[in-house]
Structure 1
Amino acid sequence: MTDPRTDPVDLSSLARPSGAFAMVAVDQREALRAMFAERHGEPVPDERLTEFKLAAVRTLTPYASAVLVDRDFALDRVIEEKATAAGCALIAAADRFLPGPGEFVADVEIDEAVDPAGYAAQGVAALKLLVIHRPDEAPEPRIAMVRRFVDRCRAAGLISIIEPVSRPPRDGRDWDWNACVLAAAEELGALGADLYKAEIPLHGEGDEAEIRRRCAHITAVVASPWVVLSSGVRHEVFPRAVGLACAAGASGFLAGRAVWRPVIGRSDVEAALRRISVPRLQELVHIVDEAVAAR
């Protein structure tokens, strides 16, 4: 079993010259299909998801420091077509999503079909693992999964990224989502992963001092640099939330919906990405560059 990493790993391949992380996620799967179905009101074939992901990679990666892609729909095509812009690192999703009642992702396991060494040889820089954190479930299985994931990444010379997300208890007990975000960081943030991807406390809304305090807690308990995700955060407030998180120790973002969700359903996806998503991404890049430079 791997002990937490004691020597810092080089994360510069995922970062901007400022040292900030400005990374785009396009690894959503059935959740993305549901977003399309909501707009189109008809069944959504796999190829529509693949084409959207490829368009997003081609259009957004000139402005991003890294992009996260899933094997299910797009990773191999992205590699084969060299769709990623020069200077933008490629992150492979190494998680297999298991659905459950009312949830697209009720459980997660390591995707054994994602071969770390094989993808490293094709230019992938990092792997990402989603981890479901429920307050009524024993921590040992998820801790063991994170440790095994970190071992697999290290053996292949890849950067390891974990993404704990808080979900309601299966037994129906009362729970506090915000408390669980911090509990997940305390439990999983010092197990050796090279980068930690966190949900934004309070979904980035409300009192600024309280958001900063909770983000500072994540900074204190996570042993690696950490970045924020955008799921659950209204895109109107995401830039502010990113700025507050970075002021309290975060080092950037790995976000998808806040950048590209308004484009879903548009007739000319690439044009809409250029018109809507690129300016959003550029604004976020400016925020994280300024925040990290100010330290």
Structure 2
Amino acid sequence: MTTPRTGPATPTLDLLARPSGGFAMVAMDQRESLRQMFAAATGERAGDDTLTAFKLAVAREVGPHASGFLIDQDYGFDRVAAEGLIPGGLIIAVDSLQQSSDGPVEDTSIDERVDLAAARRAGAVAAKLLLIWRDDEHRRRRLDIAAAFVRRCAEAGLLSVLEGVAKPTATAGPGSGETAGPAAFDGPAAIREAAAELAGLRPSLYKAQVPLGGAAPEERLVDECAKLDEVIPVPWVVLSQGVDRDDFPAAVRAACRAGASGMLAGRAIWSDLVGSGSSGLAAALRARAVPRLRRLAEIVDEYARPWSAR
């Protein structure tokens, strides 16, 4: 009888976790969104070299304090891996983003240019896919993409980090760009529905939006996150997009109290340093971004559910 072929053994989430079993990870995989942030801060369009230099600075100064670090292939992964800048777990983004130069991400697919086996050899322990979730006619296709991502990661011996971002469904014809208004979109319910569907594919780790954008009393957030926790069968963390930087620590605490295992966040840690100038960037990251991450790590250590308890 022929023995079935299998991929390399998949690592455990300990490679991305703190000793407490929780996650305090930094996201530095923004692409056109980061370029938009530079334009807002400086009034000028940033070139590719500027984006890469900023990402490398964050990796050097903030990365050593993170339990995991997420970066993309186009702007820095190879340098970060080759220079050994990240003592924690290195995560490569594998999402191809459909995004205009001045707009949000509207859809995603798997970036076929990313060689998962090569990324693993370079030092990555995990890969991440962002999936825009909408209750529309493309729902099945997106689910198939997510399932393929989880499968490919397992075959390559990488952990899979699946990020679901729920957005309103388009209300007009194709190409109209119109979406349902806020009153027609139940954000917390959509976040739960996306999580139930996507986390049900059993990625190694699920990355979820904070319900209500974190803009609610903490006990309300705990209640909403508890509902989210009920539908997620794998360890999960929260992202910071859409949450005010000052609100994020309380949002992480609320999510962890409700069953989350920590966070994988970028903007809440370094966004106000975009465009601050290369000469003082390293010092500013050490003075402002590192203390933020340390505070978030303290919250994770105190309140997060250890990933192995899921």
Gapped regions of structure 2 (runs ≥ 5): 1-9, 172-178
Gapped regions of structure 1 (runs ≥ 5): 1-7
2:114 alignment partner, SS class: coil
Greater alpha carbon shift after TM alignment, 49-58 vs 213-222: 213-222
Report the equivalent of 1:215: 225
Give TM-score scaled by structure 1 length: 0.93
C-alpha distance in structure 2 between counterparts of 1:97 and 1:183, whole Å:
22
2:62 alignment partner, SS class: helix
Report the equivalent of 1:48: 50
Report the equivalent of 2:105: 105
- Specify which of 259, 266, 269 is matched with residue 281 of structure 2: 269
1:237 alignment partner, SS class: helix
1:234 equivalent in alignment to 2:244: yes
1:25 alignment partner, SS class: strand
**Is 1:135–1:175's contact at 8 Å kept on the other side of the alignment?**
no
C-alpha distance in structure 1 between counterparts of 2:25 and 2:282, whole Å:
19
**Is 1:182–1:214's contact at 8 Å kept on the other side of the alignment?**
no
C-alpha distance in structure 1 between counterparts of 2:54 and 2:110, whole Å:
25
Report the equivalent of 2:32: 30
Report the equivalent of 2:196: 186
C-alpha distance in structure 2 between counterparts of 1:209 and 1:40, whole Å:
38
- Whichever residue aligns with residue 249 of structure 2, its letter is P
Distance 1:9 1:50, change over 3 A: closer
1:205 equivalent in alignment to 2:207: no
Superposed CA deviations along residues 24-47 of structure 1, whole A, max 9, x for unmatched, are 000000010011111111121100
- Whichever residue aligns with residue 298 of structure 2, its letter is H
Greater alpha carbon shift after TM alignment, 243-252 vs 161-170: 161-170
C-alpha distance in structure 2 between counterparts of 1:264 and 1:170, whole Å:
32
Shift of 1:143: 1.1
Superposed CA deviations along residues 169-204 of structure 1, whole A, max 9, x for unmatched, are 222333222221111112111112010000001111
Matched ranges for 1:150-169 at <5 A: 150-169=150-169
Q: Percent identity?
A: 46
Report the equivalent of 2:302: 290
Greater alpha carbon shift after TM alignment, 208-217 vs 233-242: 208-217
Report the equivalent of 1:3: none
Report the equivalent of 2:77: 75
Report the equivalent of 2:176: none
Report the equivalent of 2:22: 20
**Is 2:11–2:158's contact at 8 Å kept on the other side of the alignment?**
no
1:191 alignment partner, SS class: coil
**Is 1:9–1:194's contact at 8 Å kept on the other side of the alignment?**
no
Aligned CA RMSD, in angstroms, stands at 1.8
Distance 1:177 1:103, change over 3 A: farther
C-alpha distance in structure 2 between counterparts of 1:91 and 1:213, whole Å:
31
Report the equivalent of 2:60: 58
C-alpha distance in structure 1 between counterparts of 2:167 and 2:291, whole Å:
32
C-alpha distance in structure 2 between counterparts of 1:204 and 1:232, whole Å:
8
- Whichever residue aligns with residue 277 of structure 1, its letter is A
1:135 alignment partner, SS class: coil
1:236 alignment partner, SS class: helix
Distance 1:66 1:138, change over 3 A: same
1:125 alignment partner, SS class: strand
Shift of 1:102: 6.3
Report the equivalent of 1:116: 116
1:130 alignment partner, SS class: strand
Greater alpha carbon shift after TM alignment, 134-143 vs 26-35: 134-143
Greater alpha carbon shift after TM alignment, 27-36 vs 162-171: 162-171
Report the equivalent of 1:280: 292
Shift of 1:83: 2.2
**Is 2:72–2:93's contact at 8 Å kept on the other side of the alignment?**
yes
